[in-house]
Structure 1
């Protein structure tokens, strides 16, 4: 069952990466189009800026929620790398617990704000703001689940790996 679950997880991760690439390509195309219209044709258009901002918001939050692995997250590497396995576990549990508490406390207000924003739309594309900001609610729930999993693994699973600067890369 675990190997099947791993395959499904890997497939979903790959599709999330594909969606992220599509969003980035669309944002880039809108950006180039904006430059061409503004500086070549001398006819500024606003919807390209709007779509670029919207996609940037979605790229950052969607990517962090579903594509970026824990090992690719930013840490205070000086302290974390110098710590023993036991202390790395303690650091992971403390940070996971703090993030779960903070995201959980903020979640009702986040959902309330997102649902409140249905009354406004974007200037050019007329997209409701609740649809645009819904990614933050998804991000918050994904972070709660991720941190619960990391805390669980740190307590009952294997110790988090120490950072090895010789294996550092761009995530590719």
Structure 2
């Protein structure tokens, strides 16, 4: 059963990477179209510019929520790396609890804001803002799930690097 879950997790992670690559490719093509329209044809570039911005927003939040592993996150761990394992575990538990509290506390307000934004659309592509910002809801849920996992691993003390989420992916 555990093997099947690990295989499923690996498959889902690869699909998340594929989607991120597709977003990056879309953003790149839109950028090239923007440059061509502006400098070669002297035409407006509003839709291509808006698509580039939308893809950037989605790519950053999608990548942070579903593609990056905890060990790949950039962080300042000068203090963390110099303390004993037990102290690192306490730091991991405290930081996981703090992040779970902050994301959990802000989630209802974020939900209200995103769902409220259905009243407005983007200028060129006519994308409703609730659809546009829905990626933040997905990101917040992914972060909450990730830090629940990290907290459980740290409380168990089952993995020295539980804070890095190595077993979560």
Name the SS for the 2:121 alignment partner: coil
Contact 2:154 2:162 (C-alpha < 8 Å) held by counterparts = no
**Which portions of structure 1, spanning 4 or more consecutive aligned residues, are displaced by more than 3 angstroms?**
none
* Per-residue Cα deviation, 1:69-96 (whole angstroms, up to 9, x for no partner): 0001122221111122111111111111
* Per-residue Cα deviation, 1:20-65 (whole angstroms, up to 9, x for no partner): 0000000000001000000111112200110011110100101111
* Per-residue Cα deviation, 1:113-160 (whole angstroms, up to 9, x for no partner): 001000000000101000000010111111111011001111102122
Indicate the larger mover: 80-89 or 108-117. Answer: 80-89
Contact 1:80 1:162 (C-alpha < 8 Å) held by counterparts = no
Name the SS for the 1:159 alignment partner: coil
Q: Give distance in 1, aligned partners of 2:32 and 2:146.
A: 36
Contact 1:86 1:159 (C-alpha < 8 Å) held by counterparts = no
Name the SS for the 1:77 alignment partner: coil
2:25 corresponds to 1:17: no
Task: Please name the residue that 2:49 is paired with.
Answer: 49
Task: Please name the residue that 1:160 is paired with.
Answer: 161
Q: Give distance in 2, aligned partners of 1:32 and 1:76.
A: 35
Task: Please name the residue that 1:61 is paired with.
Answer: 61
Name the SS for the 1:78 alignment partner: coil
Task: Give the alignment's TM-score, normalised by structure 1.
Answer: 0.91
Map 1:7-156 to 2 at 5 A: 7-156=7-156
Q: Give distance in 1, aligned partners of 2:70 and 2:153.
A: 12
Task: Give the alignment's TM-score, normalised by structure 2.
Answer: 0.93
Q: Which runs of 5+ in 2 are unaligned?
A: 165-169
Count of residues paired in the alignment = 163
Summarize the Cα distance change of 1:161–1:9 in structure 2 as closer, same or farther, 3 Å threshold.
closer
Contact 2:150 2:162 (C-alpha < 8 Å) held by counterparts = no
